[in-house]
Structure 1
Amino acid sequence: MHALTAGARPWAPGAVLLAGRGPVIAVAEAAGWAVRYAAYDPKTGTGVELPPADRIPATLDTPFDLASLTKLFTTVVAMQQVERGTLSMDTRIGSHLPDFHIAAHDVTVRQLLTHTSGLRPELPLYDCPDDAARLDMLRAEAPTGEPGTYRYSDLNMLLLQFVLERITRRTLDVLVQDGITRPLGMTTTTFGPCPGAAATEDQRRPWAKADRGMLRGVVHDENAWALGGVAGHAGLFSTARDLAVFCRTLLAGGSYGPARILGPDFVEPMLTPPGLGFAVDQRWFMGELAGRGAAGHTGFTGTSLVVDRATDTFLILLANTVHPRRRPPDSGPRAALATRLARAVQGV
């Protein structure tokens, strides 16, 4: 763990690792800094370090910006509606969003969850002058690729958010709180602002898409920020301990202690190839946990989560790899840690 956060240009300034099997937490470690830099200096290509006394260490209780791990929570909310019969996996989303241009296309809820809708990866909502313009941009969007072909897109979860909010007449943050975090006792999992969170990026153009300065406790993703911090694809903050509860709930088929958030028949398709909302058997970040049905996701800020039903294990890595500036993604450490866990469980 310390190797990930050591040196002048570490993989991440700060990181938290938590791994467990069944109800047992086997490893829980924190290393490095939740806040290490005051800014990024583009002239030198390095971060402007805070004085040692002003840095804030990463701890097991440090919340991190989950980035795309938010998609997993949106997926669970969607499956809760499927279980209740208010949403069908193969219903055209246009039936719920008739005022969206996508209503003219045969895109289904299932295609949103499997990233096979044909939608482009994202839209520049952060460049719109106001909420009305952002909504108009989303309403005008239609598939640019062939539906049925995999193409990862944040727009899938954004449109799913609109569907869920129209069905329930509640906002996504309320749906996540009432349906997941409150019954599971996940008290540190919330949409921002989250003042005590690990810092992310000195967000400025040209390397970023907006000029916001050093971010801490507000969502890193520019589109989620433009949408007020609550979005189907990004916006949640959480700690490793809370995510351990989420993982154990999935591994137990949707229940944790006396709480039940989803039935086993509705957890199963999320964790079974091709996965609904979850990526399944992706060796590039799951290492040797992949191959038997391990499922999870990564987040742009440096986060990842894997559950492996074959061994009843889970692995959570929270990091602020984008602090003080984003860089090309490197999932080598994620895969290496997953491989270590796989070998430990197998006794290699």
Structure 2
Amino acid sequence: MSAPRLRVDTPERAGLDPEEIRHLAWDVEGLTRGGRPWAAGAVVVAGRGPVIAVQRAAGWAVRYAAYDPEAGAGVELPPGRRVAMTVDTPFDLASLTKLFTSVAAVQQIERGTLGIDTRIGAYLPDFRAAAAHGVTVRQLLTHTSGLRPELPLYDCADDTERLELLRAEAPVDAPGTYRYSDLNMLLLQQLLERMTGRGLDVLVRDGITRPLGMTSTGFGPCPGAAATEDQRRPWAKADRGPLRGVVHDENAWALGGVAGHAGLFSTGRDLAVFCRALLAGGAYGPARVLGPDFAELLLTPPGLGFAVDQPWFMGELAGRGAAGHTGFTGTSLVLDPATDIFLVLLANTVHPVRRPPDSAPRARAGTRLARAVR
């Protein structure tokens, strides 16, 4: 039996308060206004059940030509050369990529080809340091491996040196200790590719995005994407200049753009489909990418790849089992199985330069949607 597909309809048809939904859209528009806005541009897609109650774009996909460190501000493009944000604009998802890597891993767990509590040394014996400490697949998925947040792979001379760094990296905390780490998803990528003989990009495409009809989702390059950063040292880790359509994360860039922790591009509508499929127990339309029990496993505390009940970016959606994630470039999504609602908020907050993280607007959006539930 097919699961319902998304359709655009009124907030009332979705069982959501129209006034709160209007305020949610206005709030997002306000994030892109002023001389130094929270983001140059933003897209919000939110709804309940199979209904998209709001999809709104605001601001600019490309607003700045560069960043001027002496002025501490972006160099504005003339209005005629700016690119307006639309609801179809793709974004560099940054760490939202981790969710797709996690789903790809849970698909293997469901098939019985991967053991969730098996030590990764059984699959990656050459990753000797993590193997020696008994790191398990579950610990990679829950960020409890004890591995440090990242390694400077972008400073390595070649892929051989990068791989050797990963193989020699031991946990800095005792396995079982929570420490959010990109390395977890890089090791998980290595494991998946080793056991399946296919690249992560192929696993994501064939196992998730193609069955779900997410035609605007994939690893870069993505020429029409929202611009990210004028990436230069000392504020960045590499000197690459203004970036648009190529991965922002320096390690993912060094790895060729396909990485377990970053590299995917997508749109608000495609991510709404992803949320809808998980809320519907792994199915969307005629496609099923996970069984209901395994879709639930992803979202059950502490979450496999997904963060659960985090008020710092979920607002009042937290506290009742809502799950989601954020991305460094300004992306986020939240889905709440208890009320069947989803919220996708995409913004290019690092355009033209990275800044101290501020998730207050994400939390306000989550609170708006939580209060809209009738």
Q: Does TM, normalized by the shorter one, top 0.5?
A: yes
CA drift of 1:105 comes to: 1.4
SS in structure 2 of the partner of residue 296 of structure 1: strand
SS in structure 2 of the partner of residue 167 of structure 1: helix
Which residue matches 1:87?
A: 114
Task: Choose the corresponding residue for 1:281, options 281, 291, 309.
Answer: 309
Partners in 2 of 1:57 and 1:178 — Cα distance? 32
CA drift of 1:342 comes to: 0.3
Partners in 1 of 2:293 and 2:258 — Cα distance? 28
SS in structure 1 of the partner of residue 362 of structure 2: helix
* CA RMSD after TM alignment: 0.5
Q: How far does the alpha carbon of each residue in 1:180-232 deviate from its partner, in whole angstroms, 9 at most, with x for none?
A: 00001100001000000000000000000000000000000000000000000
8 A Cα contact 1:96 1:163, kept in partner: yes
**Amino acid of the residue matched to residue 42 of structure 2?**
A
**Amino acid of the residue matched to residue 36 of structure 1?**
R
Partners in 2 of 1:111 and 1:135 — Cα distance? 20
Which residue matches 1:217?
A: 245
Mapping 1:15-54, distance limit 5 Å: 15-54=42-81
Which residue matches 2:329?
A: 301
Q: How far does the alpha carbon of each residue in 1:34-65 deviate from its partner, in whole angstroms, 9 at most, with x for none?
A: 00000000000000010000000110000000
Task: Choose the corresponding residue for 1:77, options 98, 104, 113.
Answer: 104
Partners in 1 of 2:83 and 2:99 — Cα distance? 29
Partners in 2 of 1:143 and 1:44 — Cα distance? 41
Q: Tell me how many residue pairs correspond in the alignment.
A: 346
Which residue matches 1:256?
A: 284
CA drift of 1:268 comes to: 1.0
**Amino acid of the residue matched to residue 115 of structure 1?**
H
Which residue matches 1:312?
A: 340
Which residue matches 1:149?
A: 177
Partners in 1 of 2:210 and 2:175 — Cα distance? 36
CA drift of 1:146 comes to: 1.3
Partners in 2 of 1:298 and 1:94 — Cα distance? 30
CA drift of 1:100 comes to: 1.1
**Amino acid of the residue matched to residue 217 of structure 1?**
G
Task: Choose the corresponding residue for 1:161, options 181, 185, 189.
Answer: 189
**Amino acid of the residue matched to residue 51 of structure 1?**
P
Q: How far does the alpha carbon of each residue in 1:248-292 deviate from its partner, in whole angstroms, 9 at most, with x for none?
A: 000000000100000011111111111110000000000001111
Q: Normalising by structure 1, what TM-score?
A: 0.99
Which residue matches 1:245?
A: 273
Which residue matches 1:108?
A: 136
8 A Cα contact 1:13 1:34, kept in partner: yes
Partners in 1 of 2:167 and 2:114 — Cα distance? 21
8 A Cα contact 2:314 2:366, kept in partner: yes
Partners in 1 of 2:256 and 2:35 — Cα distance? 34
Which residue matches 1:9?
A: 36
Partners in 1 of 2:323 and 2:165 — Cα distance? 33
Task: List gaps (5 residues or longer) in structure 1.
Answer: none
Partners in 2 of 1:307 and 1:167 — Cα distance? 31
Task: List gaps (5 residues or longer) in structure 2.
Answer: 1-27
Q: Normalising by structure 2, what TM-score?
A: 0.92
Which residue matches 2:18?
A: none
Q: Given the alignment of the two structures, is residue 68 of structure 1 paired with residue 88 of structure 2, yes or no?
A: no
Which residue matches 2:3?
A: none
8 A Cα contact 1:94 1:105, kept in partner: no
8 A Cα contact 1:93 1:108, kept in partner: yes
Q: Given the alignment of the two structures, is residue 186 of structure 1 paired with residue 186 of structure 2, yes or no?
A: no
Which residue matches 2:264?
A: 236
